[in-house]
Amino acid sequence: MIQHWLRYMGLKNPTQYLAEFTTNNHTSSLLKYSQYAAYVSPTLLPEVYRSGVAEPRNLDHGNEELWRRIEMTVLNPHFAPLMATDLAKVSPAFVITSEFDVLRDDGIIYVERLRRAGVRVNLYHVKTSFHGFCSAYLFESTQFDICNKILPDVIQYIEENIH
């Protein structure tokens, strides 16, 4: 997943930066103390996902050179919706998260931020699945039962909310 993000950011040879991203060293130390840090704070997660997660003790680290190269992309809310300063004008949303997904916490935090901004949002969390589990739905050999269960809820949401 990280390699896809890195390619989208225009970085050549994305494997060169994997360690920086997996150790949260891809941002500057200033960013870790900025308003943006609050937008992705683990305190926005339900307690069940916070237990066992320690707050970082030292935020005074980062690859400044790498950060300069990716800053405009990472802080762009079209690339990273969690970086949006104001979510109040976002349309009502139906967010699906998966328990075994690197983006699970991001989705849950996004839902919480939308709710705090007064946006109507539905969260459908799948405890037994992984990232992209319904994207294979088009292929009969890779359809998962959970997709059949979710689909009516998605259709109902669209019918009720998209005019």
Residue pLDDT, tens place only, 11-63? 888 888 888 888 888 999 999 999 999 999 988 999 888 876 666 667 888 99
Q: What share of the chain has pLDDT > 90, as a percent?
A: 48
pLDDT above 60 for 142: no
- Joined together, the tokens standing for residue 21 give 């991203």
Instruction: Using pLDDT thresholds of 50, 70 and 90, give the confidence band for residue 156.
Output: very high
d(CA 26, CA 128): 31
The predicted model scores a pTM of 0.85
CB atoms within 10 A of CB 108: 18
- Give the total residue count for the chain: 163
Among the listed ranges 68-72, 87-91, 127-131, 132-136, which one has the minimum average pLDDT value? 132-136
Domain boundaries along the sequence of the chain:
1-83, 86-163
Whether the pLDDT of residue 151 is over 90: the answer is: no
Q: How far apart are CA 96 and CA 49, in angstroms?
A: 16
127 has a pLDDT exceeding 70: yes
